[in-house]
Structure 1
């Protein structure tokens, strides 16, 4: 397994729409292994392949709490359906936008269908943090960042600060 570089805003590759994976094979599993290692190293709880520059519909996630054993999850070609009408706020962050957190409202429940690590078809209900995280990562597969869910004013303020920080780091 290899820790890969996580792309950060304003890298234009983060806006790419990811392509479906034709089949889950050894190459796909190697990608997922690298993604999981990268996510743990960051550290984070979810990572989409596009965040390491691979425009494929692949997500890894581990929602285990502190002190709990790892519980890695793998999602290939995930599809969300049946989002609930009720939205809940959750403070989100993103490995591609390090250091920034904002409250985002998302459906509290949804159904997610995907292929697992071995290529088996799975359909399950997502609630709580799982629902938030899978929706956040699914956004990445569509070229959407959590900042896009904010008001234009908040989004512009954060992007201005990110650019200012990047200029300061470069000098």
Structure 2
């Protein structure tokens, strides 16, 4: 949850592509589906590694399903759109966030094969959001002014708040 140090620390690269990585990816998908999310980064379940999973539609309702290991957000461009954004680490909360309408993330699969994921609309938002997690950022870190103050106030009052 918000306030846990693992969410605010950049994640380490994956170096072991063995069975533990495959198990982590399975755990990420199971956790994401149980929480009814569309993306989940490893640090959100307490594992400080550069891995995220997604099962997210774009604005044309095309489903994007997969994972990235050691991803880098290589493109975030196009028009900037403000839209509602939530996070499984801040359950029940949402804020109007500005994100680019196009994003590309590059990394590898659990087997080490190169992977390039391109997204637009809502899926581009997801790629940017999950990439932020791996850098130790949660969406309120990208807010400013009254939007940031309102999001942090709501987080402090949430039933899951840790008091930090």
Q: Give the TM interval when normalised to the shorter protein.
A: 0.7 to 0.9
Counterpart contact for 1:61–1:73, Cα < 8 Å: yes
For residues 14-64 of structure 1, what are the alpha-carbon distances to aligned partners after superposition, in whole Å with 9 as ceiling and x for unaligned? 101100101422111100000100000011000000001100000011015
Q: Which has the higher strand share?
A: 2
- What is the TM-score of this pair, normalised by structure 2? 0.86
Cross-structure match for 1:30: 23
Find the partner of 1:117 among 90, 110, 122.
110
Q: CA deviation at 1:168?
A: 9.3
Find the partner of 2:55 among 59, 62, 72.
62
Equivalences, count:
160
Cross-structure match for 1:16: 9
Find the partner of 2:134 among 141, 151, 154.
141
Unaligned runs of 5+ in 1: 1-7
Rounded Cα–Cα distance in structure 2 between residues aligned with 1:128 and 1:103: 15
Counterpart contact for 2:95–2:151, Cα < 8 Å: no
- What is the TM-score of this pair, normalised by structure 1? 0.83
CA RMSD of aligned residues (A): 2.5
Cross-structure match for 1:74: 67
Unaligned runs of 5+ in 2: none
Cross-structure match for 1:161: 154
Rounded Cα–Cα distance in structure 1 between residues aligned with 2:136 and 2:122: 21
Rounded Cα–Cα distance in structure 2 between residues aligned with 1:37 and 1:159: 28
